[in-house]
Structure 1
Amino acid sequence: MSELMIYLLKANIALTLFYLGYYFGLRNLTFYRLNRYYLLLALTFSVTYPLINLKSLFSSKLDIPAEIITALPDLNNLHFSQQGMEFSEIIEYFLWFSFAVVFFNLLIKLRGVLKVHVNSIPAHWNIYPYRKSQEDITPFSFWKSIYLNPDKHNKEEFDKIFKHEYIHVRQLHSLDTLTAELVFVFFWYNPICWFIRQSIHENIEFITDQKVLSTGINKQSYQYSLLNISSLPTEPALGNHFNIKNLKKRIKMMNKNQTSNSHLSKYVFILPIVIIGSLIFSISNAKESLDSSPLSTSIITNERMAEEQNSLLPNTEPAKGRLPENLLILVNGVKVNEEDFKKINPKDIESINVYKEESAIERFGKEATDGVIEIFTKANKK
């Protein structure tokens, strides 16, 4: 599996776990500010944690076992014929193309905001600066600007609109929106990413509604203002609008009693589970990668094959006096004597396994007390 596919798999698993924790444990709580941090953490953690090289953390603590040595030919020098484009490569090309398309769509949304900004002029209403527009738009804010067509609203609505949008501006809710859109570029195919993006938009509106009502504005009057403005178009799509499509849910959350502080324990319970659950996949993946790597099996290439065999074969000078008298020698699973062992041509050897002490006895029984040399030839492999 390619690095891109592994990265996307890890990130999507993390996104899914975070959203499940939010959906089943946090979405109905009135701790909207904590939910905001939770959802932003869900995006940033899911995108960044797969980039951490956990394999290096494991390999730094890995010791090659002395009991087993495996010698293999150098596979890096083998050449394979090109079989054409693989299916995984086609998937990758499709993903990169889709990323470009969704990113282009994001640029179109930003262009829509820029268009409204260019066609508007600076204005003031009481203490609130804003951009006066003549377009048929819903009041919205983006970054540090509020956009409004005053001809579309009654004077009685202005106070509620500006208080609402000013909270968006002051708390930089556009940062949440942009973060969600950027992550969506790379995870648009995952329904969970759609749900998280929607939850982020909803939650910042919950935060703003709560703040507006805390200033003393009548709740019923404020809700009627939402209903009056809901019929206006919501372009550009990237702004923080005074109304959202799921208006019924906003009104329901405004009328909801404040959640007891005892429910704060849910964050302490859910966050570690989600993070550990995400990391478990990476840790297990890193271990599997190490188990099949040269470090875990002590793979020796052709350059060291001759050196290893010279230290093991009894007909070579360095090996004299080093092999125990009762050493068990197996060639392709068959026990051979020392004379047959001497006749083996090093070039015919596919691999050599050396077992010592407890590992030898455990694998081959008491006959292997003085160690085992297990040889597999290339002919046996064929």
Structure 2
Amino acid sequence: MEYLLKVSALLAIFYVSYKVFLQRDTFFNENRWFLILGIVTAFVLPFLVIPIYIEYTPVDVPNFNNIPTEVSENIEASFNILDYLPITYLLGVIGFSIRFVIQLTSLSLVISKSKKEKHGKYTYIKTDKNISPFSFFNWIVFNPNNFNNTELEQILIHEKIHSNQKHSIDVLLTQLSCIALWFNPFIWFYNKALKQNLEFIADNETQHQIDCKKTYQITLLKTSLPSHQMALTNNFHTSLIKKRIVMLHKSKSKKISLFKYAIVLPLLTLF
């Protein structure tokens, strides 16, 4: 349990550092690697043991072997809630693992039961379900009846960016971390922040590949209409559409702001 507490503390440090110092900057790709580094560091750093050498000095210890002692033979075991923590933790891991498998199964059913079209390395999954467009690795799922040609073109550009940059790996990494640290609220905040930043990356690069930024914002608003969203995927729609549009209009952050990534390093020395 000590290991899990250290992992949780390290994740909290990275998350708070991101929210306080980095979230408002436009270094989206740098933020992506910062958040991934946070997860890897949190799980690896507690395993590293730095040896501390102390000079040995012999000390004479009195012999207490001849001193009579009384030992009570009737010691009643008292209830200790800490004894049940490992079992509780394991049950939580099992529960969230089952949830993860169900999500993967639901995703695979949508992909397997829908019409498929191969376009280079991408596979377009055309569904008739009322779901938001999303990508999972090189599968891009959308309902063609919900959008016009211009909107579909923008959506496909957006999802191809997710696919090209392997954003699904980030999502799966945080989902597995959520299983291992289900009891820690920071990992759920972390998961949300990482997914949101991936959308910032895709939005930022999409707007440089299209002719009209205004139409892209309209497409974002259109996808904000109520619809079903698949877990474990990069969704074109998120509940924070307003924030995504704000970030599209934000001026590029100055290079000097990159120094803020070093802020977290002194805090890591505590471990």
TM beyond 0.5: yes
Using a 3 Å threshold, how does the CA distance of structure 1 residues 195 and 127 change in structure 2: closer, same or farther?
A: closer
Matched position secondary structure for 1:214: coil
Q: Deviations over 1:81-131 (max 9, x none)?
A: 682763212122111111111121111111111111111232157996412
SS in 2 for 1:201: helix
Pairs within 5 Å for 1:169-318: 169-268=163-262, 270-277=263-270, 279=271
Task: Structure 2 unaligned segments of length 5 or more: list them.
Answer: 66-70
Match of 1:101 among 79, 95, 99: 95
Equivalent of 1:47, from 43, 61, 71?
43
Deviation track 1:244-265 (CA, whole Å, cap 9, x = no partner) reads 1111110111110000111111
Q: In 2 relative to 1, CA 138–71 (structure 1 residues): closer, same or farther, beyond 3 Å? A: farther
Cα gap change, 1:82 to 1:71, in 2 (>3 Å) = farther
2-structure distance, mates of 1:73, 1:11: 43
Task: Indicate the larger mover: 117-126 or 153-162.
Answer: 117-126
Displacement of 1:177:
0.6
Distance 1:71 1:228, change over 3 A: farther
Letter in structure 2 aligned against 1:45 = T
Q: Distance in 1 between matches of 2:226 and 2:211?
A: 23
2:93 and 2:17 map into 1 onto residues whose CA distance is 27
Which residue of structure 2 lines up, in the alignment, with residue 38 of structure 1? 34
* d(CA) in 2 for partners of 1:11, 1:137: 35
Corresponding position of 1:134: 128
**Inter-CA distance 217–111: structure 2 relative to 1 (3 Å threshold):** farther
Question: Equivalents in 2 of 1:138, 1:176: separation in Å?
Answer: 20
SS at match of 1:259: coil
Partner Cα separation in structure 2 for residue 156 and residue 272 of structure 1: 45
Q: Does 1:64 align with 2:64?
A: no
Q: 1:92 to 1:259 in 2, by over 3 A?
A: same
Aligned to 2:24: 28
SS, match of residue 130 in structure 1: strand
Distance 2:48 2:203 in 1: 39
TM-superposed CA distance for 1:198, in Å, is 0.7
The answer to whether the 8 A contact 2:122-2:139 is kept is no
Percent identity, please: 28
Cα RMSD (Å): 2.4
1:284 matched residue in structure 2: none
- Comparing 6-15 and 253-262, the one that deviates more: 6-15
Length, aligned pairs only: 265
Give me the whole-angstrom Cα distance separating, in 1, the residues matched to 2:231 and 2:224: 14
Matched residue type, 2:94: A
Q: Secondary structure at the match of 2:204?
A: helix
CA distance in 2: counterparts of 1:218 and 1:73, whole angstroms: 87
Question: Over residues 246-299 of structure 1, what are the superposed CA-to-partner deviations in whole Å (9 max), with x where a residue is unaligned?
Answer: 11110111110000111111113x13123223x1xxxxxxxxxxxxxxxxxxxx
Q: Distance in 1 between matches of 2:174 and 2:219?
A: 28
Structure 1 regions of 5+ residues with no counterpart? 280-382
TM-score by length of 1: 0.65
Q: How far did 1:214 drift?
A: 1.4
CA distance 1:96–1:84, change in 2 (3 Å): farther
Q: What does residue 167 of structure 1 align with?
A: 161
| Cα 1:97/1:205, change in 2 over 3 Å | same
* Letter paired with 2:48: I
Partners of 2:10 and 2:42 within 8 A in 1? yes
Q: Tell me which moved more, 137-146 or 161-170.
A: 137-146
- Aligned-partner SS, 2:124: strand
SS in 2 for 1:25: helix
- In the TM superposition, structure 1's runs of 4+ consecutive aligned residues that sit over 4 Å from their partners are 71-74, 124-128
**Structure 2 CA distance for partners of 1:71 and 1:225, relative to 1, 3 Å:** farther
The structure having more radius of gyration, on CA atoms, is 1
Find the counterpart in structure 1 of residue 68 from structure 2.
none
User: Partner letter of residue 41 of structure 1?
Assistant: L
Matches within 5 A, 1:68-79: 68-70=59-61
Measured in 1, the distance between the counterparts of 2:64 and 2:190 equals: 50
Per-residue Cα deviation, 1:160-209 (whole angstroms, up to 9, x for no partner): 01000000001010111111111111222222112111100100000000
CA distance in structure 1 between the partners assigned to 2:162 and 2:60 by the alignment: 64
Between structures 1 and 2, the one with greater strand share: 1
